[in-house]
Every structure is written in C-alpha cells, then in structure tokens.
Amino acid sequence: MVVCVCNAIKEKDLRAAVRSGSDKPSAVYAKLGRKPKCGQCLSYARGIIESEVASA
C-alpha cells in the first residue's frame, strides 16, 4: 500500500526505515532519500511509524 503518493513510498518501505532507526517522518523520508512535499501523508505516516516503534 502506498503511504506517500508524492514520493511513491510504500508502507513496507516506511516500516523498514523505522526498523533501521528513524522515528520521525522527516527522518524516515530522508532515510529513503526523499522528503515530504504536499504533507498530506504525514499524519498517516506518523501513525504507521508509531505502530512500528510500538511493535519493536
């Protein structure tokens, strides 16, 4: 499932970046070599990041 349409970031890529040590959207996107553009995805991305951090 795509989390960020602007950057074509998939949920599995987001979760992998969190597992490798990033815990904020800006850090996670940077880890993937991207940065937020429109910002529409950020609250959804935050939720996924929190759930991945909680399950670590």
Per CB under 6 A, residues contacting ligand FES are: 4-7, 36-41
Between 4 and 56, CB nearer to ligand FES: 4
CA-nearest of 18, 53, 46, 42 to 32 is: 18
Half-sphere exposure of 36 (CA within 13 A, CB side): 16
Query: What is the rounded distance in angstroms from the CA atom of residue 41 to the CA atom of residue 56?
Result: 22
Minimum distance from CB of 20 to ligand FES (Å)?
A: 20
Between 16 and 34, CB nearer to ligand FES: 34
Minimum distance from CB of 46 to ligand FES (Å)?
A: 12
